[in-house]
Amino acid sequence: MCDAASDAGRDESRAGAVLAWYDRHRRALPWRAAPGETPDPYAVWLSEIMLQQTTVAAVKPYFAAFLKRWPDVAALARAPLEEVMRQWAGLGYYSRARNLHACARAVVERFSGRFPAEENELRSLPGLGPYTAAAVAAIAFDRPAVVVDGNIERVVARIFAVEAPPPAGKALIRRHAAEIAPHRRSGDYSQAMMDLGATICTPKQPVCAICPLCPGCAGRQGGEPARYPVKARKGVRPQRRGAVFFVTRPGGAVLLRTRPAKGLLGGMAEIPGTAWSADFDEARATELAPLPARYRRLDGAVEHVFTHFALQLSIYAGEVEAGRPAPAGCRWTAPERLEEEALPSLMRKVIEAATGQVYEQNRGLRGRGASRTGSNQGRGMGKRRAGPQIILTEGSIRVHWRDRVLTVHKGAAPPDAEDPADFVVDMDRILNWDPPHEAVEVGLDELQVIMQAIEGEFEKRGLSVAFE
């Protein structure tokens, strides 16, 4: 009895310490209600879907764009699925977008446009598994729920030094998470544990000295907190290969098609190509082209990693005469309309490699980037512009975009720093990289993430940085 009471007291003490820390250090996130405000269930749900397998920095511009275009669940439910997929393009894991739309419609049809508050009812909605249902119930409605995302899993695994690898380890971590979760302020506690994992109990270098859970943390006491959670041994990721056919007409129109609604990249636009397989026969690739043309294989290949396999695509470029109709299931898209297509990252890589142009959705940074080879293959695709370039040096990071230059210095803040663009941020910490001493050309998706990280650091200091 005494041991049980002691355990309960210790769990309550842990929760109290985490909540006290959160009240002082909570992150300001666009979907998070400020202290004293009532959370918006639509914003909570939208953010949780977007944050699955995706970083906060990458999600912020997409969240803002979705909320501006579809400010409530009824507006999202009325939107055509094709428009939702286009808006989602670039965020990855595209089944989330399809489920997002289906869920919005279900909320309108079954719950009169109001998200249910109970976890079991939330789980009945499309795309809401155990974690998301628990997170929405706790954060949006303050219902007691056991919320375990990747950050919380890491924190709990270290507190209890869980030695078991998945799947047994995950089940044990969840059980421990349920034991220490408080019955009050469930939403705040869940977000506090997320913030703790994201900012202090980080994967590689946990800052144990300032962690509110450091006393009594078994991982810390054992001297190797970063060893937890124990991971399953990784198998070799299978390799698949295939080919795509970048076909154009005079004037630059590009041949596209839409993938089947179900399955990998379902409902997204793509450059026509072959099936992806381990035994792909390169010698017979052009026999599978969507229409007859004189094809040439371009140098190199596009590589992309999916969750369960790695992919390598050869690119064959060809041009057909004006007026050639598109084959069944395909369509011609004018170059100026490509940005409106729901092109996943893989296909934007293909287009970039084939034409030297990057097609970016309206995320606040738009333009066409330079190809990595410096060539402009393909005709009629418009005048090529220089792409974003990041100059990484020992002391600073300079971002060049068109005629604008943003310089962010590393090191100690100079006493006379008046220009926000010269304010110091620790880029190694927020981006978790060691800058090479050379120029690096990046795509717009990467640039967007970097700029969001920089802007976040300035916001913490009450400063702003403009980058247009």
Q: Which of 141, 148, 151, 152 is nearest to 119 (CA)?
A: 141
- Please report the pLDDT score of residue 413 as a whole number: 39
Structural domain 241-355, CATH architecture:
Alpha-Beta Complex (3.90)
Contact 316, 286 (CB under 8 A): yes
Structural domain 2-227, CATH architecture:
Orthogonal Bundle (1.10)
| Rounded-to-integer distance, Cα 120 and Cα 356, Å | 49
Q: Would you state the structure tokens that stand for residue 110, as one six-digit string?
A: 């079954």
pLDDT tens per residue, range 159-196: 999 999 888 999 999 999 999 999 899 999 999 999 99
- Please report the pLDDT score of residue 417 as a whole number: 38
Question: Would you say the C-alpha torsion 46, 48, 54, 56 has a positive or negative sign?
Answer: positive
Other C-beta atoms closer than 10 Å to the C-beta of 410 total 15
Q: What is the mean predicted confidence (pLDDT) over 15-31?
A: 94
Classified as helix, coil or strand, 378 is: coil
For the chain, the domains span 2-227, 241-355, 389-460
Q: How confident is the model at residue 377 (pLDDT cuts 50, 70, 90)?
A: very low
The yes-or-no verdict on residue 280 having pLDDT over 80 is yes
Residue type, position 269, single letter = A
| Rounded-to-integer distance, Cα 380 and Cα 356, Å | 12
Listed in order, strand segments (DSSP E) in 238-309 are: 239-248, 254-258, 269-270, 296-297, 302-305
Q: Which residues are catalytic?
A: 48
Mean pLDDT of the chain: 79
- Please report the pLDDT score of residue 234 as a whole number: 75
| Rounded-to-integer distance, Cα 213 and Cα 252, Å | 59
Classified as helix, coil or strand, 58 is: helix
pLDDT tens per residue, range 388-430: 444 444 444 555 444 444 454 444 333 343 333 333 344 444 4
